[in-house]
A = this chain, B = another copy of it.
């Protein structure tokens, strides 16, 4: 972020000038008078000064020194965006996204902020994402997911829109990103299945997307460490949708290859896959061991209770909000990679076998 921010003071000054001109026009006075009023010059009458200050406050104009702190005092609203893909315009029902939304709402409430929540199409993720900030309605933006718009997000960061993104760390990333350690998450899941004696481990997830791609890298690394060749027929690209798990099971079955385990890139995929495996007469974990990803609440009381990789959803909301507030305050906010953790329950075998 350091590079992206280095010309910040010039731009801020430009923005101040424009807004000062607005105030002058609306108050029916000159820009010089506004400037004098804001600087408590004796050349401006008390009545005019009060009028200009009130107008400045109404227009959310940030006065002079400590501008950002003042802005925070006046406007405590953060934009939260969960985009949708026009091609598969799904409703907002994904349990992980909803849990993240709840976590952000809680974290913002703790900090005394309101959330301006909007859904926009992924192809609007450039200018439209920044619109509520540009118009002064919010002081910063939290975006859940990168949605294949890495370049547009870099552009927003380059023009110093305060934005923090939930997603994967990528090369040449100018924007601040909070996410979990996907590579080690993929390794932990695969390692656990290998320790259960499984050797034909299917991978469910769309490896065109950054996070599943990183989890797949961890999966491949764990297999290679065990001297097992990666079989691309065991990888099934399936969307993060309720139909995803059963679609992936049908694809695997159609390929007519053997498999004794599934590592699914979300708990939703894992649960719907288990439901579908059951319909195919396969017992979980006896015939097919399943590990999910996310550790949404439901994993703890699903049947069989789901072994999964925990993304710390509560901590994620707080980390996103903390990074954004730092950015707004003018502090460079480093990207954060939260740790992932294996949660052993029943869906991949209750006990750990000795490593093969």
Q: Is A109 on the interface with B (CB-CB < 8 A)?
A: yes
- Taking the full assembly, how many copies of this chain does it contain? 2
A interface: dominant SS: helix
Q: Inside 8 A of A115's CB, which chain B residues have their CB?
A: 116-118
| A106 beta carbon closer than 8 Å to chain B | yes
B303 and A274: CB pair below 8 A? yes
Complex interface bits, A259-279 against B, C-beta within 8 A gives 1, otherwise 0: 000000000000110110010
Which B residues lie within 8 Å of A272 (CB)?
A: 301
Point out the residues of chain B lying under 8 angstroms from A26, CB to CB.
26-27, 51, 54-55, 58
Cβ of A305: which chain B residues have Cβ within 8 Å of it?
275
Please report which residues of chain A, range 25-49, place their CB below 8 angstroms from some CB of chain B when the two chains form the complex: 25-29, 48
Q: Chain A 89-123, CB within 8 Å of chain B: the 1/0 string?
A: 00111010011011101100100001111110000
| Interface residue A209 (Cβ < 8 Å from any Cβ of B) | no
For A25, A105, A245, which residue has the most chain B Cβ atoms within 10 angstroms?
A: A105
B residues in contact with A99, CB < 8 Å: 93, 98
Measured CA separation A91–B302 after assembly (Å): 20
Please indicate the chain B residues that have their CB under 8 angstroms from the CB of A27 in the complex.
26-28
Find the B residue at minimum CB distance from A313.
B93
- In the complex formed, the residue of B with least CB distance to A109 is B119
Smallest beta-carbon distance A246→chain B, Å: 8
A59 on interface, CB distance cutoff 8 Å: yes
Q: How far is the CB of A225 from chain B (nearest CB, A)?
A: 33
- List, in ascending order, chain B residues with CB within 8 A of A180's CB: none
Q: Is A301 a contact partner of B242 (Cβ separation < 8 A)?
A: yes
Best-surrounded residue of A91, A101, A274 (most CB of chain B within 10 A): A91
Minimum CB distance partner of A97 in chain B:
B102
In the complex, chain A residues 71-97 whose Cβ is within 8 Å of any chain B Cβ: 77, 80, 82, 91-93, 95
**Which of B28, B92, B98, B119 sits near A48, CB closer than 8 Å?**
B28
CB distance from A250 to the nearest CB of B (A): 15
Cα distance A305–B279 when bound, in Å? 12
A64 at the interface (CB under 8 A from B): no
- Closest B residue to A297 by beta carbon equals B93
Task: Indicate with 1 or 0, residue by residue over A266-307, a CB within 8 angstroms of chain B CB atoms.
Answer: 000001101100100000000000000000011011110100
Chain B residue contacts of A148, Cβ below 8 A: none
A116 lies within 8 A of B114 (CB):
yes
Complex CA gap A297/B99 in Å reads 14
Instruction: Supply 15 A–B pairs (Cβ within 8 Å), ascending by A.
Output: A28-B29, A28-B48, A93-B297, A95-B95, A95-B98, A98-B101, A98-B102, A105-B119, A114-B117, A116-B116, A117-B117, A272-B301, A275-B300, A275-B303, A298-B298
Interface positions of A (Cβ within 8 A of B): 25-29, 48, 51, 54-55, 58-59, 77, 80, 82, 91-93, 95, 98-99, 101-103, 105-106, 109, 114-119, 132, 242, 245, 271-272, 274-275, 278, 297-298, 300-303, 305, 314
Using A28-B28, A98-B98, A242-B300 as known contacts, list a sample of 12 further A-B pairs with CB atoms less than 8 Å apart, ordered by residue number in A: A26-B58, A28-B51, A91-B102, A91-B103, A92-B102, A93-B102, A95-B98, A105-B119, A106-B119, A274-B303, A302-B303, A303-B303
